[in-house]
Structure 1
Amino acid sequence: MDNDHPLYKWVALSNTTLGTLLATINASIVLISLPAIFRGIGLNPLAPGNVSYLLWMLMGYLVVTAVLVVLFGRLGDMYGRVRIYNIGFVVFTFSAIALSFDPFHLDGGALWLIAWRVAQGVGGAMLMASSSAILTDAFPANQRGMALGVNMVAAVAGSFLGLLIGGVLAEIHWQAIFWVGVPIGIVGTIWSMRSLKELGVRTPGRLDWPGCLTFGVGLTLLLVGITYGIQPYGASTTGWTNPWVLGAIGAGLLLLVVFCLVELRVAQPMVNIRLFRSTAFGMGNLAGLMSSVGRGGLQFMLIIWLQGIWLPLRGFDFESTPLWAAIYMLPITIGFLIAGPLAGSLSDRFGARPFTVGGMLLMGVSFVALVMIPVDFDYWVFALLIFLNGFGGGIFTAPNTAAIMSSVPPAERGAASGVRATFFNAGSSLSIGIFFSLMIVGLANTLPGALSTGLQEQGVSAAVAHEVSNLPPVGSLFAAFLGYNPIEELLEPYHALQQPGVNAEVLTGQTFFPHLIIEPFHSGLVVVFIAAAAMMVIGLIASLFNPGRYADDG
């Protein structure tokens, strides 16, 4: 189709929205389907030594996309954004094919899946890095908010839809969660190669290898360090006293500082650090990071809340809770899907600021309100609050994206799109480390005592009860998160459920663990959601610096 054809921009929008949706659905699809995956390859992820497989199955894709989007954004500026985007579709689809059959079992099966998830993350990074830049090239300034809004709504909706799709497909077959990407990937690849055209301004030049290495290694070390901060170390319930964790985070931050210094000195930087002199660009990315971290934290906390407490108390088997948790979380997605495109269109007329500030405010208020409802809540109150959170996210996201992308010169849109996507993806990765750690710290103060008392009341010996209650809370959290029966998992190594006088039926029933964890969980939840509300306040302040109108190309 000819570039000047009036339909071309809509072809670009529909194709890049499909690519973005595919990339972000696959970022979250394994969250809900992890139990089915590990059962499929015959591996217990909670056994000692296997937690690393669990973390990398969760984090591998997220870390890779966060680290590589800036590089692919810069390569898009140099060699063509559509070219990078098309290669991304090919890499993504090939990886989906490799994931859809796993020739190995146990550890080998886990390593195969992790390796191809990482490869799929490379393709996802190419798709995400290029899509915003392709749209900014294709649409005039007065429609850019709407176009980027639709694309960005697809990105965030994909992260929610992945939970539902993963839950449904995992019930069919564990490999079905990977099959879904194959036909969509093939269709998307052929369609993008036939229909998308290079409209952007290319800036040929040499690749900035010092910048690539310092950024890639620095961000990888930072995200991996924060991820391993979740795991217990020695007598500590988290890894924040582990010298390796602290060393990785310190080295990562140092390399990112070196990266900034390198970029100010090289002739053709991977990221023009001077872009951050633009208040709209710098503050927009800060607000985007806060929103992404808060949203990631909310996803994790709601999954644990529903799967570990609320659904079992209503008689759902632990094994069936992943699917139902995804269904009960649908109001967030609905709120986002209603608000996102609408806010994108309205911000083209009225400017970004009222929407970015209003969206942040609504998300912050909903986090505070979630702290105030009981853990064993009335569903309609809960549904309204998470709907408002999704609605606030939808109001914020599209105008913020358009403000960021419109604040940079046309020749640097690929790199700017990569920076924005890095903040988006890094936020998702950071949220896992930050919010899990906050929850574990909250649980560590109250869970051991409650667990020890509860177990002894049901006939478990004081020695076993004391030992189990002093295990790191991350085990209980991951068990609930994965749809396992947490008490059964905790007591199995001690064969305590087979001992005379032990009330095994009560201990492994639907209500014992939820009642046990309600109070400790609420302590952790208060810490987590107040921290999330504080992040929304930071995002709100940053959003006050958004422009009233987008600049046109000129």
Structure 2
Amino acid sequence: MDYKWIVLSITTIEMFMVSVNGSIILISLPAIFDGININPLTSFQYLIWVLMGYNLVTATLLLSFGRLSDMYGRVRLYNVGFAIFTFGSILLYLTPDTGDAGAIEIIVFRLVQAVGASFTYSNSAAILTDAFPENERGKALGLNMVAFLSGQFIGLILGGILAFYHWRYVFLVSVPVGVLGTVWAYIKLKETNLPEKTKKIDVWGNLAFLGGLTIFLIGITYALLPYKRDPMGWRDPWVIASLFIGIVLLILFPIIESRVEDPMFRLSLFKNRMFSFANIAGFLNAIARGGMMFMLIMLLQGIWLPLHGYSYESTPLWGGIFMLPLTAGFVIMGPLSGWLSDKYGSRLFATSGLLLTTISFLILATLPYNFNYPIFAVALFIMGLGNGMFGAPNIAAIMNSVPSDERGVASGMRAMLQNSGMVTSMAMFFTIVIVSLTRLFPEELARSLKDVGASNLIVPMSEIPPTGALFAAFLGYNPVSTILAGIPQSVTATISPETISILTGTTWFPTTLAQAFMPSLHLSFYIGAILSIIATVLSAMRGPTHMINEETSENLIEGRK
């Protein structure tokens, strides 16, 4: 077997494993939190860290690991990442405690996984680029994306099945795949680009970047949590201080990088228009779609599916199934656009893909909460086609635009920008939704209770925190039953059984939540459309296909010397 196909098989296993891990946890969160006895109405902070902690770690480490890979060997560190990710999966399966301690352990072990994923993320595209000739890289990256999307689909199904038996099996499923991938990579992968150990570690750049991005993202994360009587923490002095310190360090980072001998963030690469515009377009695309996927799942699980007769317990699984048109579009277009971009260049396909994504956001922005599913499915399919058209050609363009000795750091820079965009997106869209719920949900809750003749429940039911309502909707819980269980019987006895049945049914709470949720969701869709159209313009401005051949690479290396 040609070495390039061995590389593709190994990186495909890695992409598949990481993808399955992400979607299987997303779909199994109700079983996981129920298994460790966590109350969904009071534990929003754990949801935030389970969802965002992984991306936060990868965003902060990718750049450093990309640089270290150029120095000590991409294959060596890729193999280390495979092993660490598998070890993290074993730790998650063995999570010893329950309650808050169990939730914290799951978060920490997820961070261990993220460290391993950072090693693989920062090197997979570079290793593929080293192995495949220029005219086949788009195809290889496209096939990698099919593995990633297939993993998402399989993760949804496996999550629903395994969580039914025991929540720990959700984490165990990654272990055999991880062991196989680790052994296969160790035996078969080889360094095709000699490490440059003469380079120095950029200590000050690392401190500024890691410290700045970590502190800033932690500040954003805690800003989403309640502070005293405020539903969000933007007034928390620690949040304000974190954001300020993080921004200062991030401003210092490019200044440092322009002065050190061996910078880990090659600012000179941005002089290449292809590299610069393709990366910025990818960053904006990540912001547009990162948190949007969670918003769509919340819409399905918290509102649309219950309104159509699905039990709260079953909505996580069905939410994943009803999102499959998105996966179908990506699977169809991912490898096709990669193959075509090898022949005709990346600009046309990447730009057209972003334009399709813009159209899909605008379609979604017109839908009511009780939408017609075929229209929703078409919008998702168009979004999948658009992201499939954009992904592989854009990555191939970035990797083709840099010399071979810079592919590790270039791959890390690209992945860092994408993951930073994903974290930023989640924080931004969560903020928009929580602000809207805080402002509208209490009023809608009181109005809905009056409409069903339960005015005396307005005060006790107002204890439902907006973040708790969001958390409950996402995890497939009906918070009304939990609240009613804590209300004195002398109060609930005054409510007719018919009214109690309405309140605890599958339509009253979703309808009430929808009135407060949809304005923020429509705003999020419009923001996604604006970001996508800006990315479309930048993608079109990237210029014609530009590939770095070996002669050009040698000239650039000589120029740096």
TM-score by length of 2: 0.93
1:236 maps to what in 2? 230
1:3 maps to what in 2? none
2:362 maps to what in 1? 368
1:210-289 aligned at under 5 Å gives the runs: 210-289=204-283
* Overall identity of the aligned pairs, in %: 46
- Distance in 2 (CA, whole Å) between partners of 1:275 and 1:225 is 30
1:545 maps to what in 2? 541
1:33 maps to what in 2? 28
CA shift digits 1:137-158 (9 cap, x unpaired): 1111111121223234544665
Q: 1:405 aligns with which of 392, 396, 399?
A: 399
Q: Which moved more, 1:267-276 or 1:177-186?
A: 267-276
- Distance in 1 (CA, whole Å) between partners of 2:438 and 2:47 is 21
CA shift digits 1:6-58 (9 cap, x unpaired): 711011012112112322432343222111111111222432xx332222222
- Distance apart, 1:363 and its partner CA: 0.5
2:177 maps to what in 1? 184
Q: Contact 2:402/2:548 (CA < 8 Å) preserved in 1?
A: no
Q: Contact 1:351/1:547 (CA < 8 Å) preserved in 2?
A: no
Instruction: Give secondary structure in 1 for the equivalent of 2:476.
Output: coil
Q: Contact 2:292/2:426 (CA < 8 Å) preserved in 1?
A: no
- Distance in 2 (CA, whole Å) between partners of 1:317 and 1:549 is 51
- Distance in 2 (CA, whole Å) between partners of 1:234 and 1:465 is 22
Q: Contact 1:45/1:53 (CA < 8 Å) preserved in 2?
A: no
Instruction: Give secondary structure in 2 for the equivalent of 1:265.
Output: coil
Q: 1:94 aligns with which of 63, 66, 87?
A: 87
Q: Give the partner amino acid of 2:314.
A: S
Q: 1:476 aligns with which of 469, 482, 490?
A: 469
- Distance in 2 (CA, whole Å) between partners of 1:100 and 1:510 is 33
Aligned: 1:23 with 2:18: yes
1:11 maps to what in 2? 6
Q: 1:194 aligns with which of 187, 196, 200?
A: 187
1:132 maps to what in 2? 125
| Residues 45 and 447 of structure 1: CA distance in aligned 2, closer, same or farther (over 3 Å) | closer
1:512 maps to what in 2? 508
Instruction: Give secondary structure in 1 for the equivalent of 2:263.
Output: coil
Q: Contact 2:446/2:455 (CA < 8 Å) preserved in 1?
A: no
| Residues 158 and 64 of structure 1: CA distance in aligned 2, closer, same or farther (over 3 Å) | farther
Q: Contact 2:44/2:468 (CA < 8 Å) preserved in 1?
A: no
Q: Contact 2:225/2:233 (CA < 8 Å) preserved in 1?
A: yes
| Residues 162 and 534 of structure 1: CA distance in aligned 2, closer, same or farther (over 3 Å) | farther
2:57 maps to what in 1? 64
CA shift digits 1:366-421 (9 cap, x unpaired): 11101112211121111111011011000011111111111112111101101111
Q: Contact 1:443/1:523 (CA < 8 Å) preserved in 2?
A: no
CA shift digits 1:154-208 (9 cap, x unpaired): 4466556544543343223211110111000011011101111100242222211
Q: Contact 2:278/2:538 (CA < 8 Å) preserved in 1?
A: yes
1:431 maps to what in 2? 425
1:207 maps to what in 2? 201
1:392-541 aligned at under 5 Å gives the runs: 392-462=386-456, 464-466=457-459, 468-469=461-462, 472-495=465-488, 499-502=492-495, 503-541=499-537
Q: Which moved more, 1:362-371 or 1:142-151?
A: 142-151
CA shift digits 1:111-131 (9 cap, x unpaired): 221221111110011111110
1:317 maps to what in 2? 311
- Distance apart, 1:250 and its partner CA: 2.2
| Residues 110 and 517 of structure 1: CA distance in aligned 2, closer, same or farther (over 3 Å) | closer
Q: Contact 1:297/1:532 (CA < 8 Å) preserved in 2?
A: no
2:142 maps to what in 1? 149
2:557 maps to what in 1? none
CA shift digits 1:72-131 (9 cap, x unpaired): 111110011000000111111111112112222222222221221111110011111110
Gaps of 5+ in 1: 1-5
Aligned: 1:112 with 2:112: no
- Distance in 1 (CA, whole Å) between partners of 2:116 and 2:543 is 33
- Distance apart, 1:491 and its partner CA: 4.5
Instruction: Give secondary structure in 2 for the equivalent of 1:405.
Output: helix
Instruction: Give secondary structure in 2 for the equivalent of 1:333.
Output: helix
Q: Contact 2:277/2:539 (CA < 8 Å) preserved in 1?
A: yes
Q: Contact 1:442/1:521 (CA < 8 Å) preserved in 2?
A: yes
Q: Which moved more, 1:352-361 or 1:30-39?
A: 30-39
Q: Contact 1:353/1:544 (CA < 8 Å) preserved in 2?
A: yes
Q: Which moved more, 1:52-61 or 1:298-307?
A: 52-61
CA shift digits 1:215-264 (9 cap, x unpaired): 11111122222222222334433323333223222221221111111111
- Distance in 2 (CA, whole Å) between partners of 1:261 and 1:489 is 53
Q: Contact 2:41/2:469 (CA < 8 Å) preserved in 1?
A: no
- Distance in 1 (CA, whole Å) between partners of 2:149 and 2:64 is 22
- Distance in 1 (CA, whole Å) between partners of 2:80 and 2:192 is 17
1:76 maps to what in 2? 69
- Distance apart, 1:447 and its partner CA: 2.2
Q: Give the partner amino acid of 1:509.
A: G
- Distance in 2 (CA, whole Å) between partners of 1:160 and 1:281 is 31
> What is the total number of aligned residue pairs between the two structures?
546
Q: Contact 2:356/2:386 (CA < 8 Å) preserved in 1?
A: yes
Aligned: 1:46 with 2:41: yes
Q: Which moved more, 1:256-265 or 1:25-34?
A: 25-34
Q: Contact 1:87/1:126 (CA < 8 Å) preserved in 2?
A: yes
Instruction: Give secondary structure in 2 for the equivalent of 1:22.
Output: helix
- Distance in 2 (CA, whole Å) between partners of 1:46 and 1:510 is 18
Q: Contact 2:41/2:479 (CA < 8 Å) preserved in 1?
A: no
- Distance in 1 (CA, whole Å) between partners of 2:421 and 2:180 is 30
TM-score by length of 1: 0.94
- Distance apart, 1:297 and its partner CA: 2.3
- Distance in 1 (CA, whole Å) between partners of 2:280 and 2:528 is 14
